[in-house]
């Protein structure tokens, strides 16, 4: 009597790719989560669009993003003319989590000072909406320099980075 194995015919080689799929899914989930966290550092806004921009690519590390956020908006309502919008700032956000109201800029200085203790070479990337008034953004710059940080990178829209 032939064995069960031989009755089915010769075995065809099959690669078990289930673990591969598991690993790939885990990597996808990981990278998507990391991306989400990185994106939370950047508050939704319209950055200044410059004439013949001299902006360069952002370094990969050694900086903290300070957002001067505009009032909430729908992207479509500002597409035609980003400057025609409320010129007052809503809040200041440092990194992805720390948020400060506009009347508590000493908190911004204190938070940056704590970060400076960990990294004395810290640079600030200042993201401010293009429609904000200068007297809304300038106090934030003062709060940054008051923490002892002189390297302030002004973020602008850069079409060459698309």
Partner 1 sequence: MSKAVAGPSAEAAEDPTVHHRTARQRRGLAPAKMQPNLSSMIDIIFQLLIYFVVTASFAIDEGVLTATLPTGAGSASDMEPPPETLDIRLVSAGEIGVSIDLGGTGRLDSFTALASELDGLQFDPGRGRHNGVYAPDDPVVIRPAGDVRWQHVVNAFNAAIKARYTNVNFAQPE
Whether the CB-CB separation of 52 and 121 falls below 8 Å is answered with: no
111 vs 106: CA distance, rounded Å? 9
User: Which residues between 82 and 121 bind partner 1 (CB under 8 A)?
Assistant: 82-84, 87
Q: Does residue number 43 form part of the binding site for partner 1 (CB under 8 A)?
A: no
67 vs 100: CA distance, rounded Å? 10
The residues, ordered by sequence, that sit 6+ positions from 153 with a Cβ below 8 Å of its Cβ are: 58, 63, 123, 124, 125, 126
Number of residues that bind partner 1 (CB under 8 A): 66
Partners of residue 94 on adjacent β-strands: 66, 98
Q: Does residue number 137 form part of the binding site for partner 1 (CB under 8 A)?
A: yes
Closer by beta carbon to partner 1, 11 or else 17: 17
Q: Does residue number 131 form part of the binding site for partner 1 (CB under 8 A)?
A: yes
Closer by beta carbon to partner 1, 40 or else 101: 40
Chain residues binding partner 1 by CB under 8 A are 14, 17, 20-21, 24-25, 28, 31-32, 35, 38-39, 42, 47-58, 81-84, 87, 125, 127-139, 141-162
């Amino acid at each position: 009597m032939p064995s069960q194995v031989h009755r089915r015919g010769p075995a065809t080689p099959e690669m078990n790719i289930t673990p591969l799929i598991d690993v790939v899914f885990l990597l996808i989930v990981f990278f998507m989560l990391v991306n989400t966290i990185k994106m939370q550092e950047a508050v939704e806004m319209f950055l200044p669009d410059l004439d013949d921009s001299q902006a360069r690519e952002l370094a990969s590390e050694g900086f903290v993003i300070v957002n001067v956020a505009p009032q909430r908006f729908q992207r479509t309502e500002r597409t035609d003319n980003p400057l025609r919008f409320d010129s007052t700032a809503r809040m200041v956000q440092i990194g992805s989590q720390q948020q400060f109201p506009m009347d508590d800029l000493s908190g911004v200085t204190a938070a940056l000072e704590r970060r400076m203790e960990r990294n004395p070479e810290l640079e600030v990337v200042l993201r401010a909406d293009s429609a904000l008034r200068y007297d809304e953004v300038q106090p934030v710059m003062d709060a940054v320099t008051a923490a002892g940080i002189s390297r302030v990178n002004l973020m602008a829209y850069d079409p060459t980075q698309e």
